[in-house]
Chain A
Amino acid sequence: MLPQATLRKILYGSKGFRIRVPIASCTLAAGAEEVYRRVRRAVEELKLDAEVYTVGCTGLCFMDPWIEIAKEGQPPALYGNVKPDQVPQILKRYLEGDLSGATAVRFKTDSRDPPSLDELDYWRLQTRYVSRNCGLINPESIEDYVETGGYSGLKRALSMSREKVIEEVKASGLRGRGGAGFPTWFKWKVAYEQKSDVKYVICNGDEGDPGAFMNRLLAESDPHRVLEGLIIAGYAIGATKGFIFVRAEKPLMADRLEKAVNDARRAGFLGKNILDSGFDFDVEVYRSAGAFVCGEETALIAAIEGRSRPRQRPPYPATSGLWGKPTVINNVETLAHVATIFQSGVAEFTKYGTEKSKGTKMFCVTGAVKRTGVYEVPVGTKIKTLVFDIAGGPPEGRKVKAVQIGGPSGGCIPAELMDLEMDYESLQSYGAIMGSGGLVVIDDGNCMVDVAKFFTGFTLAESCGKCLPCRVGMKQLSNILEKITSGTGTIDDIELAQELGESIAKSSLCALGGTAPNPILSTLRYFKHEYVEHVVNRRCPAKVCAKLVKYVIDPALCRGCIQCAKTCPTGAISGSPGEVHRVREELCAKCGQCLIACPFGAIRKV
């Protein structure tokens, strides 16, 4: 999407030799810091005239940490899963023109090169619209962002009237990427029409779902895009101040956004009289202590005010929000979309997506897949495409059982419905939600009751405790699931869970409680047989629920090597060397250590 000349300039840099090392929370966790140091040392040792360049992450988590070497005359090559010790070797071979060790190249110059990114399913099937700069530019450099067309959207927006800006967002059909899919323009319009001396815009970067990290990735890799979107939103509604609400437990994201704000202020994109338009606007990065409930907009507002609990809506924040003033809250990804729409036009955006939901969406695919990562695809892409073609499907010998979409507020979609096109309406009608876009792939080694119990436990812990159905109801639901998974449940418990879940969903105060029973309701909808199996036959079909499985030693396979007896932490395995061993069930803690220890595969779960 970038013009070739700009792309080459960014890829090769001013020296014509650039080595990019991704520094983002995800790659740091995979050991990118050590790789970065080794690259610097190798460059010094080999006396290369190369720039070691910090970039954000591409979202291809499965190949973290990666490096990309680009020297004029040779195609830029990506090396995945780099170990620090391999760095000098990789560099030397690249300089010799040997690209065989590379995972991929940006573009091919020779047919013998490794595959180019565009030939690989996980890149080809993506539509990198908002994430176009991720892994390409230095997130801490405003120049890089401007180079790729950054802040041209802001310039265009400021040359238009406020109504026109809102009209343009309306024409794009952009809907909130944070979960509910509320039309962005509508929120803006309501806030714009309010008569108030002070208005606020808030960028919601709280992102707390297990299995979702696209906002963090986006803000760490391309923070200026988010900021630009926020300034445009501020202009559209006539706000004077913006907040970026970031979890303090994502320090790099907060630091980079803060740096972006400072750089933008210095460059004249923030502050008084922005670009001579007469529009005054400033942004503060607010670090929250981090609670799942703060993703809910009224709780987020309360958190900035110093309390942290949601309140009953209406009044909606667009009419009475932060300190009682009209406030627009948009998700990180929504704002990045806004900036991109204003940079490259509405037509480019509406090319993608379905009739009702336009554009692209970033999805995090985690769990039982070969290639975990953040992938951006048009809204309405089939789950199958994302899970199997892009993320590579489940590991060998495993089968996908379900996909949990939308985190703990979402629901699971069974494997039979993999042809479902992911947009807001279709997911909702099947009991899941788009949410922020986290997909946790669940394979046949998982028990669905256990999955529901996990997510219920999460929302139970994250419930703020303000309203009764969520506070007590989730506890009771979790008790019921505990009963079922420990084999003391009855068939009535299943019905009770269903009824209670529906009641909590309907009568809770905020969206957290309203969606918290979704994992239970959707697993009950598609996997009721597993629940029934737990309470009727007292059996866990996937052999996950500890209290319902037994470990037995197959006498035909046991050689009496005492490995299992040595590992058993509770001393539940008895038998002398050379004799067939036996598990004493009353002592067994069901930890499964013996299963790993047995060299003959004689221990089985039944």
Chain B
Amino acid sequence: MVDTVRVYVNGVQVEVPRNAFVIDAVEKAGFRVPVLCYLEGLFEEATCRICVVLVNGRVVPSCRFPVSEEAKIVTEGDELTRYRRTNLELLLSTHRVKCWSCIRKSNCSLLEVSKQLGIEGLPVCSECPLIGDECLITKGEPCLGPLTVAGCSAECPRYGAPCVGCRGYLSDPRIWEDATVELYRKYRVDVKEIEATMKFFWSNLPERLREVVTKGGKP
């Protein structure tokens, strides 16, 4: 007989083996927590701190925290969302977002978790199926995908129309730099054309972002 303990996940009672981790109990109870660094059996070092849950009121990483008898596990809540979001934002703060040329494209757990937690700051390219030669910018079109906040499922580029930035611009100058250097300049998209496409917000754009494009990637 396997030695089991009884735990409560968001009030749902489940029995799990004594040596299981909290995440196993959560999954068994039919809930999900976002995970990034955890790879069962390969990497269980609990370093990304995205999978945090409350066990008896204490914030712990579910992937590495052992279950205990009668433990009360809470997987959602304002506090937890705040920590998860903060940690994910911290991770993105060191990540150079280049979804337009990233080989993972939509098969990316960082994107997935970001969407789940509603993190802003990802470009439309992260949702656009076009990549490489298909990309509109490689054809010289002034698509604003790399500079625009994602969330529209990239409807326009998907059907061949360049993005006009209707969802607003990204405020991270690093993305602007990369996009200018790796796309606009490389495929010789005219600054005037970008400016014209950006008529929605060009006049409201912070000076430093506008300069990135006009100076060709060097703010």
Interface on A for B, CB 8 Å cutoff?
A: 311-312, 314-315, 466-469, 472-473, 476, 499-500, 503-504, 506-509
Are A468 and B91 closer than 8 Å at their CB atoms?
yes
Q: For the complex, would chain B's binding face be called helix, strand, loop or mixed by DSSP majority?
A: mixed
Measured between beta carbons, the chain B residues less than 8 angstroms from A500 are: 86
Measured between beta carbons, the chain B residues less than 8 angstroms from A499 are: 82, 86
Are A472 and B83 closer than 8 Å at their CB atoms?
no
Are B61 and A312 closer than 8 Å at their CB atoms?
yes
Choose the segment among B3-11, B41-49, B143-151 that binds chain A (4+ C-beta atoms closer than 8 Å). Answer: B41-49
Measured between beta carbons, the chain B residues less than 8 angstroms from A314 are: 65-66
Are B45 and A311 closer than 8 Å at their CB atoms?
yes
B87 at the interface (CB under 8 A from A): yes
Chain A residue at minimum C-beta to C-beta distance from B86: A503
Chain A residue at minimum C-beta to C-beta distance from B58: A506
Q: Closest CB-CB distance, A433 to chain B, in whole Å?
A: 18
Q: Closest CB-CB distance, A488 to chain B, in whole Å?
A: 13
Measured between beta carbons, the chain B residues less than 8 angstroms from A469 are: 49, 86-87, 90
Are B49 and A472 closer than 8 Å at their CB atoms?
no
Are B93 and A472 closer than 8 Å at their CB atoms?
yes
Chain B residue at minimum C-beta to C-beta distance from A508: B49
Measured between beta carbons, the chain B residues less than 8 angstroms from A503 are: 82-83, 86-87
Known: A314-B65, A472-B91, A507-B59. A467 touches B46 (CB 8 A): yes
Are B49 and A509 closer than 8 Å at their CB atoms?
yes
> What are the 8 A-B residue pairs with the smallest beta carbon separation, nearest first?
A503-B86, A472-B90, A312-B64, A312-B46, A507-B49, A507-B83, A467-B47, A506-B59
Would you list 6 pairs from A and B whose C-beta atoms are within 8 A, ordered by A residue? A312-B64, A467-B48, A472-B93, A508-B49, A509-B46, A509-B61
Measured between beta carbons, the chain B residues less than 8 angstroms from A472 are: 90-91, 93-94
B52 at the interface (CB under 8 A from A): yes
Cα A468 to Cα B64 with chains together (Å): 15
Chain B residue at minimum C-beta to C-beta distance from A466: B47
Task: Taking A468-B49, A509-B47 as given, write out 17 further A-B residue pairs in contact, using a Cβ cutoff of 8 Å, ordered by the A residue number.
Answer: A312-B64, A312-B65, A314-B65, A314-B66, A467-B47, A468-B47, A468-B50, A468-B90, A472-B90, A472-B91, A473-B90, A476-B93, A500-B86, A503-B83, A503-B86, A506-B83, A509-B61
Cα A314 to Cα B19 with chains together (Å): 12
Chain B interface, number of residues (Cβ within 8 angstroms)? 21
Are A312 and B90 closer than 8 Å at their CB atoms?
no
Chain A residue at minimum C-beta to C-beta distance from B50: A468
Cα A476 to Cα B89 with chains together (Å): 11
Cα A311 to Cα B43 with chains together (Å): 12
Per-position contact with A for B67-91: 1 when CB-CB < 8 Å, else 0? Answer: 0000000000001001100110011
Q: Closest CB-CB distance, A372 to chain B, in whole Å?
A: 38
Chain B residue at minimum C-beta to C-beta distance from A467: B47
Interface on B for A, CB 8 Å cutoff?
A: 45-50, 52, 59, 61, 64-66, 79, 82-83, 86-87, 90-91, 93-94
Measured between beta carbons, the chain B residues less than 8 angstroms from A504 are: 86
Q: Closest CB-CB distance, B123 to chain A, in whole Å?
A: 21
Q: Closest CB-CB distance, B96 to chain A, in whole Å?
A: 14
Measured between beta carbons, the chain B residues less than 8 angstroms from A473 are: 86-87, 90
Measured between beta carbons, the chain B residues less than 8 angstroms from A509 are: 46-47, 49, 61
With most chain B CB atoms within 10 A of its CB, the pick from A315, A466, A469, A476 is: A469
Are A467 and B93 closer than 8 Å at their CB atoms?
no
Known: A312-B61, A312-B64. A507 touches B87 (CB 8 A): yes
Measured between beta carbons, the chain B residues less than 8 angstroms from A507 are: 49, 52, 59, 83, 86-87
Chain B residue at minimum C-beta to C-beta distance from A465: B47
Cα A63 to Cα B94 with chains together (Å): 49
Measured between beta carbons, the chain A residues less than 8 angstroms from B61 are: 312, 509
Cα A506 to Cα B59 with chains together (Å): 7
Measured between beta carbons, the chain A residues less than 8 angstroms from B65 are: 312, 314
Cα A467 to Cα B47 with chains together (Å): 4
With most chain A CB atoms within 10 A of its CB, the pick from B45, B86, B91, B94 is: B86
Measured between beta carbons, the chain B residues less than 8 angstroms from A315 are: 66
Chain B residue at minimum C-beta to C-beta distance from A504: B86
Cα A466 to Cα B45 with chains together (Å): 9
Cα A312 to Cα B65 with chains together (Å): 8
Measured between beta carbons, the chain A residues less than 8 angstroms from B93 are: 472, 476
Cα A509 to Cα B65 with chains together (Å): 11
Measured between beta carbons, the chain A residues less than 8 angstroms from B94 are: 472
Measured between beta carbons, the chain A residues less than 8 angstroms from B66 are: 314-315
Measured between beta carbons, the chain A residues less than 8 angstroms from B59 are: 506-507
Measured between beta carbons, the chain B residues less than 8 angstroms from A467 are: 46-49
Chain A residue at minimum C-beta to C-beta distance from B83: A507
Cα A314 to Cα B67 with chains together (Å): 10
Q: Closest CB-CB distance, A515 to chain B, in whole Å?
A: 14
Chain A residue at minimum C-beta to C-beta distance from B68: A314
Chain B residue at minimum C-beta to C-beta distance from A503: B86
Cα A499 to Cα B65 with chains together (Å): 25
Chain B residue at minimum C-beta to C-beta distance from A309: B45
Measured between beta carbons, the chain B residues less than 8 angstroms from A311 are: 45
Q: Closest CB-CB distance, A471 to chain B, in whole Å?
A: 8
With most chain B CB atoms within 10 A of its CB, the pick from A466, A504, A506, A507 is: A507
Measured between beta carbons, the chain B residues less than 8 angstroms from A476 are: 90, 93
Cα A472 to Cα B64 with chains together (Å): 21
Measured between beta carbons, the chain A residues less than 8 angstroms from B91 are: 468, 472
Cα A16 to Cα B59 with chains together (Å): 63
Chain B residue at minimum C-beta to C-beta distance from A479: B93
Cα A377 to Cα B47 with chains together (Å): 40
Are A468 and B48 closer than 8 Å at their CB atoms?
yes
Q: Closest CB-CB distance, B69 to chain A, in whole Å?
A: 14
Q: Closest CB-CB distance, A416 to chain B, in whole Å?
A: 31
Measured between beta carbons, the chain A residues less than 8 angstroms from B50 are: 468
Chain A residue at minimum C-beta to C-beta distance from B63: A312
Measured between beta carbons, the chain A residues less than 8 angstroms from B86 are: 469, 473, 499-500, 503-504, 507
Q: Closest CB-CB distance, A317 to chain B, in whole Å?
A: 15
Measured between beta carbons, the chain A residues less than 8 angstroms from B83 are: 503, 506-507
Cα A131 to Cα B94 with chains together (Å): 48
Measured between beta carbons, the chain A residues less than 8 angstroms from B82 are: 499, 503
Chain A residue at minimum C-beta to C-beta distance from B36: A468
Q: Closest CB-CB distance, B9 to chain A, in whole Å?
A: 19
Chain B residue at minimum C-beta to C-beta distance from A514: B59
Q: Closest CB-CB distance, A320 to chain B, in whole Å?
A: 11
Measured between beta carbons, the chain B residues less than 8 angstroms from A466 are: 45, 47
Measured between beta carbons, the chain B residues less than 8 angstroms from A506 are: 59, 79, 83
